[in-house]
């Protein structure tokens, strides 16, 4: 291909133009030669180059290669309908190189893809932020109240109240403790460094083979006590064992 053509220029051949316009290739080759003669050698070499292609018998055949300037120069020789076809093809090639959508459907697909990717990145960032700011579980006075020094899942805490993990998560969401993003429950930033939870990120492979990251979050006994005090004060809600004692 002619070295004077820029790296970002489109690439077309006389064979492409022939197929696009329905003209015989030999006639398009003739049109290119005529243009080259009219333009003069120096200009012609800057926009047209010699190339080759394989025919149906796998024989090498000559053709001309050119970028946008050459395609436009050639298009100007033709009637309006033919010229329109060449120009539309140039636009399609430019859009495909730049990544721009060529129609409304492609635009929507690209938009959805960008939104999903941005949301995925934001979720990963928020997971890492929470993980970095969390305090490691430690034995202190508030932990000793519940005696159990281990970590517990939200499902285990929910069971104390006779509800499902899903319901407990929604309850904590309503109390502005956590929010859901891309299917992942995350603490609001003002709770990251309180020592309520302990999280670790886990690499996963989705069913379609793509790689992703999820976060496994468990609550410390301090966090469990925090939920106890929160539900008691905000919702007048007690664990089942305390309800039984009061009955």
pLDDT digits (tens), the chain, 247 positions: 444 444 446 788 999 999 888 889 999 999 999 999 988 888 888 889 999 998 888 899 999 999 888 888 888 888 888 888 888 888 888 776 655 555 555 555 655 566 667 777 778 778 877 877 775 444 433 444 445 667 889 999 999 899 999 999 999 999 999 999 888 899 999 998 888 998 888 888 888 878 888 888 999 888 988 998 999 999 999 888 888 654 4
Lookup: tokens for 27: 């006639």
- Beta-carbon contacts of 102 under 8 Å, excluding residues fewer than 6 positions away, are 91, 92, 95, 96
Distance separating the N- and C-terminal Cα atoms of the chain? 89
What per-residue confidence (pLDDT) applies to 107? 58
SS3 202: strand
Residue with tokens 């939920």: 227
What per-residue confidence (pLDDT) applies to 211? 83
Residue 24's alpha-carbon distances to 17, 28, 227, in angstroms, are 9, 7, 79
Rounded Cα gap, residues 74 and 66, in angstroms: 10
| 47-83 burial: b if 16+ Cβ within 10 Å, else e | bbbebeeeeeeeeeeebbbbbbbbbebbbeebeeebb
pTM across the whole model: 0.47
Residue with tokens 């006075």: 141
If you ran DSSP here, which 8-state letter would residue 152 be given?
B
Displacement of CA 17 from its chain's centroid (Å): 36
What per-residue confidence (pLDDT) applies to 135? 52
Phi, psi torsion values for 164, nearest 5 degrees: -80, 160
The Cβ-side half-sphere exposure at 185, using a 13 Å CA radius, reads 21
Any idea where the domains of the chain sit in the sequence? 12-100, 126-246
Lookup: tokens for 22: 């329905």
Residue 94's alpha-carbon distances to 8, 14, 78, 99, 101, in angstroms, are 9, 18, 21, 9, 10
Strand (E) positions, 58-151? 60-66
């Amino acid at each position: 291909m002619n070295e004077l053509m820029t790296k970002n220029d489109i690439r077309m051949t006389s064979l492409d133009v022939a197929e696009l316009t329905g003209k015989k290739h030999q006639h398009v080759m003739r049109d290119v030669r005529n243009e080259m003669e009219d333009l003069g050698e120096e200009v012609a070499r800057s926009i047209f180059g010699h190339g080759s292609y394989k025919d149906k018998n796998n024989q090498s055949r000559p053709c001309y290669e050119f970028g946008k300037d050459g395609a436009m120069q050639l298009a100007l020789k033709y009637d309006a309908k033919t010229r329109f076809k060449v120009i539309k093809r140039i636009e399609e090639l430019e859009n495909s190189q730049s990544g721009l959508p060529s129609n409304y459907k492609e635009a929507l697909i690209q938009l959805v893809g960008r939104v999903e990717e941005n949301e995925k990145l934001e979720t990963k960032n928020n997971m890492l932020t929470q993980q970095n700011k969390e305090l490691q579980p430690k034995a202190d006075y508030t932990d000793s109240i519940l005696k159990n020094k281990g970590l517990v899942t939200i499902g285990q805490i929910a069971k104390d109240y006779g509800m499902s993990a899903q319901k407990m998560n929604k309850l904590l969401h309503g109390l502005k403790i956590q929010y859901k993003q891309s299917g992942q429950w995350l603490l609001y930033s003002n709770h990251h460094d309180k020592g309520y939870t302990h999280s670790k990120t886990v690499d996963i492979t989705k069913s379609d083979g793509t790689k992703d990251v999820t976060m496994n979050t468990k609550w410390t006994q301090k966090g469990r006590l925090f939920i106890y005090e929160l539900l008691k004060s905000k919702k007048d809600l007690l664990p089942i064992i305390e309800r039984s004692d009061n009955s």
